[in-house]
């Protein structure tokens, strides 16, 4: 087993880091299969860094926040050579040098992530977050084949590596082709795809996305690992990390300019997206001398390449309707090549942006595409001969409902929750884990339900029958039965979740909880005048007006009545049983969940606590009644002990919930 592990790790390094495979895929698969056979015979000998252990089994319930060892700062930007020269001047003045040695590296367009190793083995991976605190994505990071689970050289000290998670253009295109075949929404660009993939709760999905990791900074015991940044990059290579080979040691500003100009023309040949070049002072001593501002280091700057632009004609302006009902104007363009991509549409954001541009249909415009993001109109270059103004429709182009624009907003919205353009996204929102928690309602199934006319409103979910679902693609009686059971279970979801599920503008999870606690029933909330709504904590005029407008719409009142008839909970507190009400056993108790539970997911535990009248929060305070601690409980457990809050296990929680039965 040890020999197989070593060989497989070597071949992973050759294939995923050096791009120099020595054996065929079939030979690699055979070796991996043999190791799996042996590990099945002796699970007690499975090593944590075994190549078979990259993908975990169970999906997580969420991501834990983790403080970085030191700030993971962003970079200041230079958008032209004058700004780059200003950076060089400041560095030379602060260091009292006539010329500074720089390291130039391509600026990969991905997601920053810090990776920690203990005794040479991968221990934790944390996203950049706000630079001070990120999210623990270790299980997902383990699936990245170019990220070593075990360092290639012995490491007696704690090792921290910082780098970029990216997705290649080829993988991005493959992923979008698969999603198109499955009638799933496509990703906008490789960066967003990589960032979303590293934060998926199911590691096996992350593994299927084939992400890469490119390292750019190395620490030993929290300190820089070398006297020169270039040496640190070489050490990263020796430890087994992929380090972008397109880098150069440059003498002064002239060398940096030469590298930047070279790659501005060569970047289209790369297999991945870049949006510029990072210029760093090579000497670590000088880096420490230069220090940092509150937001960025003074010893590095990102030179950003200009966005790619082209001129074309606006043939028409249409309107798209999103899940929240927001109407977004979209320019339909005469097709034009921008950076090797044919562009035929560009976002216009809102009515005010069109007015600011002075844009009309028929105008010649300059469009811009930065990286692979949705193109936008920069300016009108020449008015069209037969130009005509765009007029925002007074009614939704899909369902015909009158659109509204709230004071202080730039967007017009369709307020009809049953609008077909909104319906699919509304159903996905309604059934989400943190909303009504209807497991099994994925995008493909929702598409079928809406396209076949089985669901024309979220309320129709509660009228679905077994025979209707069983005949859908990829369903069958067992899956249909499970889905119906989950839909039925959502009837007991707490009032706060129902308020959140309605999709009222500006009413998210927290505001929904505040409204449920303040008003106590959906009927009181629906009938409250705006002045009374504003008396609720954190509810200002804009939110209150949105709530009032929602419940004033006849179609939304009809939806509420249908949900009432379906048996959903309209009252805060204990659910009713039989003919009389019974006080919930957890009424008035506040819980905090931490660590991994064995019998149920944390979302499921939270839902059961709320259904039993309890309240679940994320912060331990003196008002907390119980902290439920599972395996690998973190700082919340320490806080509970510090405050003297009672800590219970999952079995204790099950017993508390059992009294509800």
Which residues are known catalytic residues? 107
- Rounded to an integer, what distance in angstroms lies between the CA atom of residue 113 and that of residue 72? 9
Within 10 Å of residue 642's Cβ, how many Cβ atoms? 9
- Rounded to an integer, what distance in angstroms lies between the CA atom of residue 617 and that of residue 623? 10
Q: In this structure, what token pair is assigned to residue 34? A: 């043999």
How much is the CA Rg of the chain, to the nearest whole Å? 28
- Rounded to an integer, what distance in angstroms lies between the CA atom of residue 386 and that of residue 388? 7
Within 10 Å of residue 519's Cβ, how many Cβ atoms? 20
Contacts of 18 (CB under 8 A, 6+ apart): none
Cβ 299 vs Cβ 131: under 8 Å: no
Count the helix, strand and coil residues of the chain and give each as a percent rounded to the nearest 5.
40, 25, 40
Cβ 118 vs Cβ 272: under 8 Å: no
- Rounded to an integer, what distance in angstroms lies between the CA atom of residue 534 and that of residue 529? 9
Looking up tokens 């929404």 gives 185
Cβ 507 vs Cβ 549: under 8 Å: no
To which H or E segment does residue 163 belong?
strand 159-166
Looking up tokens 């000088």 gives 286
Cβ 427 vs Cβ 450: under 8 Å: yes
- Rounded to an integer, what distance in angstroms lies between the CA atom of residue 276 and that of residue 610? 49
Cβ 174 vs Cβ 168: under 8 Å: no
Measured CA angle at 241 (ends 240, 246), to 5 deg? 125
Count Cα atoms within 13 angstroms, Cβ side, for 396.
23
Collapsed DSSP state (helix, strand, coil) of residue 642: helix
Q: Which of 206-210's residues contact partners 24+ apart within 8 Å by CB, and which partners?
A: 206/140, 206/143, 207/54, 207/55, 207/143, 209/167, 209/171, 209/175, 210/145, 210/167, 210/168, 210/171
Cβ 93 vs Cβ 286: under 8 Å: no
């Amino acid at each position: 087993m040890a020999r197989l592990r070593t060989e497989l790790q070597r071949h992973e390094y050759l294939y995923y880091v050096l791009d120099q495979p020595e054996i065929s895929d079939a030979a690699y698969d055979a070796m991996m299969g043999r190791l799996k056979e042996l590990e099945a015979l002796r699970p007690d000998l499975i090593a944590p860094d075994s190549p078979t252990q990259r993908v975990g089994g169970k999906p997580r319930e969420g991501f834990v926040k983790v403080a970085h060892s030191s700030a993971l700062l962003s970079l200041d930007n230079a958008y032209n050579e004058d700004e780059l020269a200003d950076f060089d001047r400041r560095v030379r003045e602060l260091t009292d040098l006539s010329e500074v040695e720089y390291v130039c590296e391509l600026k990969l367009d991905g997601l920053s992530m810090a990776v920690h190793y203990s005794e040479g083995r991968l221990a934790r991976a944390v996203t950049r977050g706000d630079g001070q605190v990120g999210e623990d994505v270790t299980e997902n990071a383990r699936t990245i084949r170019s990220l070593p689970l075990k360092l290639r050289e012995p490491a007696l000290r704690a090792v921290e590596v910082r780098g970029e998670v990216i997705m290649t253009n080829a993988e991005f295109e493959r992923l979008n082709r698969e999603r198109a075949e499955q009638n799933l929404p496509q990703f906008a660009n490789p960066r967003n795809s990589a960032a979303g993939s590293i934060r998926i709760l199911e590691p096996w999905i992350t593994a299927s996305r084939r992400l890469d990791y490119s390292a750019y900074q190395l620490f030993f015991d929290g300190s820089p690992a070398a006297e020169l940044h270039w040496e640190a990059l070489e050490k990263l290579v020796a430890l087994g990390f992929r380090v972008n080979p397109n880098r150069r040691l440059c003498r002064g500003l002239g060398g940096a300019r030469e590298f930047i100009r070279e790659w501005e023309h060569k970047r289209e040949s790369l297999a991945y997206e870049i949006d510029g070049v990072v210029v760093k002072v090579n000497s670590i001593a000088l880096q420490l001398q230069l220090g940092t501002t509150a937001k960025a280091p003074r010893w590095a700057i990102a030179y950003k390449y200009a966005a790619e632009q082209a001129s074309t004609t606006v043939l028409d302006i249409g309107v798209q309707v999103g899940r929240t009902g927001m109407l977004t104007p979209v320019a339909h363009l005469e097709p034009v090549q921008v950076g090797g991509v044919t562009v035929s549409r560009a976002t216009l954001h809102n009515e005010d942006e069109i007015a600011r541009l002075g844009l009309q249909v028929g105008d010649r415009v300059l469009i811009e595409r930065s990286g692979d993001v949705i193109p936008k109109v920069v300016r009108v270059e020449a008015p069209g001969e037969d130009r005509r103004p765009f007029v925002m429709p007074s009614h939704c182009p899909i369902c015909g409902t009158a659109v509204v624009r709230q004071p202080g907003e730039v967007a017009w919205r369709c307020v009809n929750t049953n609008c077909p353009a909104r319906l699919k996204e509304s159903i996905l929102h309604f059934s989400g884990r943190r909303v009504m928690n209807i497991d099994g309602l994925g995008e493909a199934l929702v598409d079928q339900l809406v396209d076949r006319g089985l669901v024309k409103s979220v309320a129709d979910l509660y009228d679905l029958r077994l025979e209707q679902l069983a005949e859908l693609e990829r369903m069958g009686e067992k899956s249909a039965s499970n889905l119906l059971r989950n839909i039925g279970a959502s009837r007991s979801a707490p009032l706060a979740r129902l308020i959140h599920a309605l999709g009222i503008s500006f009413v998210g999870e927290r505001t929904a909880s505040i409204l449920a606690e303040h008003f106590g029933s959906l009927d009181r909330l629906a009938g409250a005048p705006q002045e009374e709504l504003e008396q609720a904590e954190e509810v200002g005029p804009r939110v209150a007006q949105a709530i009032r407008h929602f419940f004033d719409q006849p179609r939304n009142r009809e939806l509420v009545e249908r949900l009432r008839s379906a048996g959903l909970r309209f009252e805060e507190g204990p659910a009713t049983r039989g003919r009389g009400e019974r006080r919930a056993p957890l009424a008035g108790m506040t819980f905090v969940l931490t660590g991994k539970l064995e019998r149920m997911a944390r979302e499921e535990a939270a839902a059961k606590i709320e259904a039993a009248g309890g309240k679940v929060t994320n912060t331990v305070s003196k008002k907390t009644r119980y902290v439920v601690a599972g395996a690998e409980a973190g700082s919340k457990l320490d806080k509970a002990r510090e405050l003297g809050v009672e800590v219970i296990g999952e079995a204790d929680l099950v017993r508390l919930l059992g009294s509800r039965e």
